[in-house]
Amino acid sequence: ETGVTQTPRHLVMGMTNKKSLKCEQHLGHNAMYWYKQSAKKPLELMFVYNFKEQTENNSVPSRFSPECPNSSHLFLHLHTLQPEDSALYLCASSQGLAGEGTQYFGPGTRLTVL
Amino acid sequence: EDQVTQSPEALRLQEGESSSLNCSYTVSGLRGLFWYRQDPGKGPEFLFTLYSAGEEKEKERLKATLTKKESFLHITAPKPEDSATYLCAVQGQVDYKLSFGAGTTVTVRA
């Protein structure tokens, strides 16, 4: 595997389900990010991790819970989601401290909440 | 707060018909301006970073330029494979977060 990978690529869940999104970067980067992309809207930054430590929570509802066990892996745990949470969820990584390098993105997880 | 506005929202071109995309921005001290390409159902793919006014970068049929208020992405003699959404983002000196525009969707017809 190369670059940034995300699984699953597609996810359909009910509002009462609990699921997790996984991201893995194979670039040796130190910073990782979660973004939300809704149709016709700019990418919205959700969370930022530097060397496994969360440095940013961009006013994200608590039904989204990130986890970063090491610099290569990032998870987004989902529970009690709403239909308006349906979107493309993108993971990105960058070299050095958050913001110091170019961000490289994974292919995204297309989430549909019924 | 940093702001990015991209225009037009959509652009339909005939193969070989050159055109330009605009990215207007306001930022408290520019750290970098980034261009990405995004294909449907995929993540953004990095194209260029521009750091200062007057800077230009090229990659195949794409050329990005930067002024103090805006950036242009010029597409020369486009081909159908250039069809994609092009995203612009800025990063300020104060806040490391990337602020993205909504994108320009380019469709190139053969």
pLDDT bucket at B8, cuts 50 / 70 / 90: very high
Quick one: closest CA in A to B44, which residue?
A: A105
Give mean pLDDT, residues B27-32.
90
Tokens representing B56 are: 């230009």
pLDDT at A1: 64
Partners of residue A92 in chain B, C-beta under 8 Å: 43
Highest mean pLDDT among A37-41, A68-72, B71-75, B89-93: B71-75
Q: Would you call B58 helix, strand, or coil by DSSP?
A: strand
Smallest CA–CA distance, residue A49 to chain B, in Å, is 12
- Number of residues that this document lists for chain B: 110
Of B4, B43, B91, Cβ closest to residue A90: B43
Interface list for A 40-79 with B (CB within 8 A): 40-43, 45, 48, 56, 58
- Cβ contact A103:A27 at 8 Å: no
pLDDT at B50: 96
**Start-end of H helices in B1-110:** none
pLDDT at B2: 87
pLDDT-flagged residues of chain A (< 50)? none
Q: Look at phi and psi of residue A88 and say left if phi exceeds 0, alpha if psi is from -120 to 50, else beta.
A: beta
Give mean pLDDT, residues B66-95.
95
Of the residues A38, A50, A57, A103, the best mutation for testing chain B's interface (the one with the most B CB atoms within 10 Å of its CB) is A103
Backbone angles phi, psi at A85, to 5 degrees: -80, -5
Quote the CA–CA distance of B70 and B68 in Å, as a whole number. 6
Instruction: Kindly state whether A103 is in contact with chain B, defined as any CB-CB distance less than 8 angstroms.
Output: yes
Quick one: closest CA in B to A39, which residue?
A: B102
Amino acid at B52: S
Partners of residue A99 in chain B, C-beta under 8 Å: 31, 91, 96-97
Instruction: Kindly state whether A27 is in contact with chain B, defined as any CB-CB distance less than 8 angstroms.
Output: no
pLDDT at A32: 94
What per-residue string of b and e applies to A42-79 under the rule 16 or more CB within 10 Å gives b?
bbbbbbbbbeeeeebeeebeeebebebeebbebbbebe
Give mean pLDDT, residues B47-55.
96
Instruction: Kindly state whether A21 is in contact with chain B, defined as any CB-CB distance less than 8 angstroms.
Output: no
pLDDT at A57: 78
- Is residue B59 exposed (0-12), middle (13-18) or buried (19+ Cβ within 10 Å)? exposed
pLDDT at A109: 98
End-to-end CA distance of chain B: 41
pLDDT bucket at B96, cuts 50 / 70 / 90: confident
Smallest CA–CA distance, residue B100 to chain A, in Å, is 6
Q: Higher model confidence: residue B94 or residue B47?
A: B47
pLDDT at B74: 98
Quick one: closest CA in B to A36, which residue?
A: B43
Q: Higher model confidence: residue B92 or residue A97?
A: B92
Quote the CA–CA distance of B53 and B66 in Å, as a whole number. 5
Distance, C-alpha B68 to centroid of its chain = 15
Partners of residue A42 in chain B, C-beta under 8 Å: 4, 99-103
